[in-house]
Structure 1
Amino acid sequence: MTESRSAEDGQTSVRDEFVDAAYRVIDAQGPDPSMDDIAREANTSKPRLYRYFADKDDLYRAVAQRMADDIFRRIRPDFNFVLSSPETTLGETIRAFTDVVAEHPGVFRFLARSRSQYGGEGTGFPLDIGRDVARKMVSIAEAVLKSVEVETSGMELAVYAAVGAMLASTDYWLESTAAGDPLDKDNFVVVVTPLIWGIIDSHLRRLGVVIDAEQPIFVSLANIREAGSGS
């Protein structure tokens, strides 16, 4: 079992090295990498690359997963976020997200333009990133709502919609920046934050939940709990 685990760890390490190489190639050459370039950057041959990845899509999925992991690692909230307002918490989350994307804009744009055919669905890799981040955010949102015994029906859809809007807005921002638009990262966060909050807020209001965007979240939760106990 130890030997098997060591072999798996070794394979994971080599795959990570290829993903690192893919990042470097995309950062240097733009969102149109070739497997030859990636293999060359990794100081190996293309046949060896294909020993660790079933095909090009397999490598691209690994690149997408790396970006998704980096994004959530940067934005991962602990439950201290309830001490801040939704506006502040969401703004910090979006800023952390854009920090990751701004470090590797070519990688994000590459993923935005790529299409995978696995599963026969032809889904885009940004959707893969969005699903991974959204699933984790849904679990947090539902845990918070359940703590005050609020119905969570439809919350998953609302979070997915918000994350999808964030991905689309980011893609637009990068394209606009490349075209000379003066909207910098700070202003982008200021503009996008209330738009994304609007998606979540509108769904919460449909559930009968009102959370003040400028009030600490724990205060709103306390008000909801008090209103529920008095009904």
Structure 2
Amino acid sequence: MNGRDPDRRKALLDAADRAILREGPEVSMAAIAAEAGITKPILYRHFGDKSGLYQALADRHVRRVISQLRSEFDRARTDPRRRARAAIEIYLDLISANLNLYRFLFHRASAEDTSVRSHMTALVRGLGEELGGVLADEEVVADPVRAQILGHAFVGMVQTTGDWWLEHPEVERAQVVDGLVDVIVAAFTPRSAAVSRARRT
């Protein structure tokens, strides 16, 4: 088997997941290799280098989160509040249920490797662009430029607020969800748009 074997690659990523979940975001590469039953150089060989392993894990988990967000977002097309709530709840549930993986990818890997940080940023930015496109295509927001601004703003807001919430477990999840939903829905109301225009004149 080699690094291009999808089954072998999946088994190695499964082993990395187990090691990260067990030992936390500061897990060593040697521990990940040991979990896979191989040496560290062989682990790197399968992914090119440590950066390749980081990016493979990022693709696996960030794309999985994005896929589930899309699914939840599509379930309540006629109700913006319900739609926003569904997407926010699934995101917070996913990051809190996989806390060690989240911190490994968004904190440790991104801090250690600029290519991983750029890769993660591109994935998140792509979600913002996609959301902006949805807002424009469905005429939730009439101006396509404003739709893009709001799409990126919503994605960034939810991500950074979720990151803050993980550091403040004393804050109720429902309070976080309600606060985010209120801000998002307010951006779609005629009054909010009118106030925004008035401030520019």
What's the RMSD between the two structures over aligned residues?
3.1
Aligned residues: 190
Q: Is the 8 A contact 2:44 2:53 kept in 1?
A: no
Matched, 1:68 2:65: no
Distance 1:205 1:111, change over 3 A: same
How far is 1:174 from its partner? Answer: 0.6
Letter in 2 for 1:170: G
1:164 maps to which of 140, 156, 159 = 156
4+ runs of 1 displaced by more than 6 Å? none
User: Identity of counterpart residues, as a percentage?
Assistant: 24
Q: Is the 8 A contact 1:112 1:171 kept in 2?
A: no
* Structure 1 CA distance for aligned equivalents of residues 62 and 188 of structure 2: 21
1:136 corresponding residue in structure 2: 130
Matched, 1:81 2:81: no
**1:42-78 deviations in Å (ceiling 9; x for gaps):** 1222222112212222211222222222212222247
How far is 1:166 from its partner? Answer: 1.0
Q: Is the 8 A contact 1:22 1:38 kept in 2?
A: yes
Matched, 1:107 2:101: yes
Letter in 2 for 1:97: Y
Letter in 2 for 1:188: V
Structure 1: give runs of 5+ residues left out of the alignment: 1-6, 209-231
Higher helix fraction (1 or 2): 2
* Structure 1 CA distance for aligned equivalents of residues 129 and 52 of structure 2: 21
Distance 1:129 1:102, change over 3 A: farther
Distance 1:64 1:72, change over 3 A: same
How far is 1:198 from its partner? Answer: 4.4
Which one has a bigger Cα radius of gyration? 1
* Structure 2 CA distance for aligned equivalents of residues 143 and 65 of structure 1: 27
1:193 corresponding residue in structure 2: 181
Matched, 1:150 2:142: yes
1:37 maps to which of 31, 41, 47 = 31
Structure ranking higher on relative contact order (CA contacts 8 Å, 6+ apart) = 1
SS in 1 for 2:5: helix
* Structure 1 CA distance for aligned equivalents of residues 172 and 64 of structure 2: 22
How far is 1:92 from its partner? Answer: 0.7
SS in 1 for 2:117: coil
* Structure 1 CA distance for aligned equivalents of residues 52 and 188 of structure 2: 33
* Structure 1 CA distance for aligned equivalents of residues 43 and 189 of structure 2: 46
Distance 1:113 1:201, change over 3 A: farther
* Structure 1 CA distance for aligned equivalents of residues 48 and 189 of structure 2: 43
**1:146-189 deviations in Å (ceiling 9; x for gaps):** xx893312422321121111111111111112xxx2x2333322
Structure 2: give runs of 5+ residues left out of the alignment: 197-201
1:13 maps to which of 7, 11, 31 = 7
* Structure 2 CA distance for aligned equivalents of residues 63 and 201 of structure 1: 39
Distance 1:127 1:149, change over 3 A: closer
TM score, norm. by length of structure 2:
0.78
Q: Is the 8 A contact 2:141 2:147 kept in 1?
A: no
